Amino acid sequence: MNKKKITVKELAQQLGVSISTVSKALNDSYEISEVTKQRIRKHAEKHNYKPNRLAVNLKSGKTRTIGVILPSILNNFFTTVLYGIEQVTNKRDYNIITCISNESHDNEVTNTEILSNGSTDGLIVAIAEETQINRNYGHFQECIDEGNPVLMLDRVTKSISCDKVIVDDFNDAFLATEHLVNLGCKKLALVSTIEFLGVGKKRVKGFKKAVSELLGDEHPELVLETSLKKLQLQIENLLDDHKIDGVLAVDEDASLVVHKVSKSKGFKIPNDIAIIGYAGKKLAKYISPSLTTVNQNGVKIGRAAARILIDRLEGKKTDFVTKIIATNIVKRGSTFKID
């Protein structure tokens, strides 16, 4: 509490020079003589001078700060994305200010407004579920119109023209389904608790396409779209009522519950029922049998997002880009059939 931050003004007074001389000296301006620079720098150092960011930012109109709005942080995928963003922003000398929308539209709007009122140079956003349901993207458009670039990742919308970083959910689900078919599965089901999300819809489409193309009409697919609360019961019913031998679970909760229920019903995984899910690495690796997953590469998504947005902020981009990050299927125990 004692040695309050020192300002340029105070430095100037103490040294008996003008404010601007101090400022220039500290910014290594060619206008100032080496002697003066040394003197000023030494004094500044001694008093542990650090420029006030707020003032610098206000003056320059730049903040070197990126706002990040995520629907949730208790979700392995978004955590991983955040990690990726942080790696790049850190390296390129930017800060991130993080907000959680908690899947709520109102929160998202508030966050967007706060962050775009001078605190940040641009936003990285994964759209909240509620926003995707009511399709109200005005706050983002406004933000962009005001000169604050927005980049959307994973959960994006066609309604807004901006940079985007996504994975090819349709194709990933197709490939995952194909993997199940190649294993010899005939009776496939998809389980989802994210039917309202764009990514959820795309995964369903990819799944359906794969089933109809690869298995044909005599093996119609089953799609269970449900909520977290009904999940367990519905899966129990699903497994009771149909002789399912392969499941694509398109989110972490669905994956875990399918896995658990299958075991508790005495089905052997993968011989009775093969499972491909979406889940964090540790979880996938340590449940038994371990779970084959579609690896969404959150870190890469985050990195790409930060890179693209910073490039735009620094004027290295003109046209909007949509970057598709490659995913891969990590094969684990839940699809290693023993013939």
Partner DNA sequence: TTGAAAGCGCTAACAC
Partner DNA sequence: GTGTTAGCGCTTTCAA
**CA-based R_g, the chain, Å:** 26
First to last CA, the chain: 72
| 199 neighbors 168 (Cβ within 8 angstroms) | no
CB of 16 to DNA, least distance (A): 7
| Residue numbers at the binding site for DNA (CB under 7 A) | 7-9, 16-21, 23-24, 26-27, 30-33, 35-36, 49, 51-52, 55-56, 58-61
In 3D, which of 218, 213, 215, 257 has the Cα closest to residue 238?
257
Instruction: Choose between 19 and 222: whose C-beta lies nearer to DNA.
Output: 19
Instruction: Choose between 107 and 177: whose C-beta lies nearer to a copy of itself.
Output: 107
CB of 204 to a copy of itself, least distance (A): 24
- Residue 253: count of CB within 10 angstroms of its CB: 19
CA distances to 44, 72, 166, 240, 322 from 156, in Å: 47, 16, 8, 36, 10
Instruction: Choose between 18 and 159: whose C-beta lies nearer to DNA.
Output: 18
Indicate which of DNA, a copy of itself, none lies near residue 318 (CB less than 5 to 8 Å, by partner kind).
none
Q: Give the H/E segment covering residue 241.
A: helix 231-241
Instruction: Choose between 47 and 209: whose C-beta lies nearer to a copy of itself.
Output: 47
Instruction: Choose between 4 and 229: whose C-beta lies nearer to a copy of itself.
Output: 4
CA distances to 142, 223, 282, 300 from 190, in Å: 38, 5, 23, 26
CB of 257 to a copy of itself, least distance (A): 9
Indicate which of DNA, a copy of itself, none lies near residue 222 (CB less than 5 to 8 Å, by partner kind).
none
CB of 116 to a copy of itself, least distance (A): 8
Instruction: Choose between 61 and 266: whose C-beta lies nearer to DNA.
Output: 61
Instruction: Choose between 43 and 201: whose C-beta lies nearer to a copy of itself.
Output: 43
Indicate which of a copy of itself, DNA, none lies near residue 33 (CB less than 5 to 8 Å, by partner kind).
DNA
| Residue numbers at the binding site for a copy of itself (CB under 8 A) | 1-5, 48, 50-55, 57-58, 63, 65, 73-74, 79-80, 82-83, 86, 90, 95-100, 107, 113-114, 117-119, 142, 144-147, 252, 256, 259-260, 263, 282-283, 286-288
CB of 95 to DNA, least distance (A): 17
CA distance 311 to 317: 6
Instruction: Choose between 33 and 212: whose C-beta lies nearer to DNA.
Output: 33
- Residue 2: count of CB within 10 angstroms of its CB: 3
Helices (H) and strands (E) in the chain, counts: 14, 12
| 261 neighbors 235 (Cβ within 8 angstroms) | yes
Indicate which of DNA, a copy of itself, none lies near residue 114 (CB less than 5 to 8 Å, by partner kind).
a copy of itself
Instruction: Choose between 242 and 268: whose C-beta lies nearer to a copy of itself.
Output: 268
Residue with tokens 């049998």: 289
CB of 65 to DNA, least distance (A): 16
Indicate which of a copy of itself, DNA, none lies near residue 98 (CB less than 5 to 8 Å, by partner kind).
a copy of itself
CA distance 163 to 311: 11
In 3D, which of 89, 103, 18 has the Cα closest to residue 303?
89
CB of 118 to a copy of itself, least distance (A): 4
CB of 306 to a copy of itself, least distance (A): 13
Indicate which of DNA, a copy of itself, none lies near residue 23 (CB less than 5 to 8 Å, by partner kind).
DNA
CB of 110 to DNA, least distance (A): 18
CA distances to 6, 45, 102, 161, 255 from 14, in Å: 11, 13, 50, 53, 66
Q: Give the H/E segment covering residue 200.
A: helix 198-214
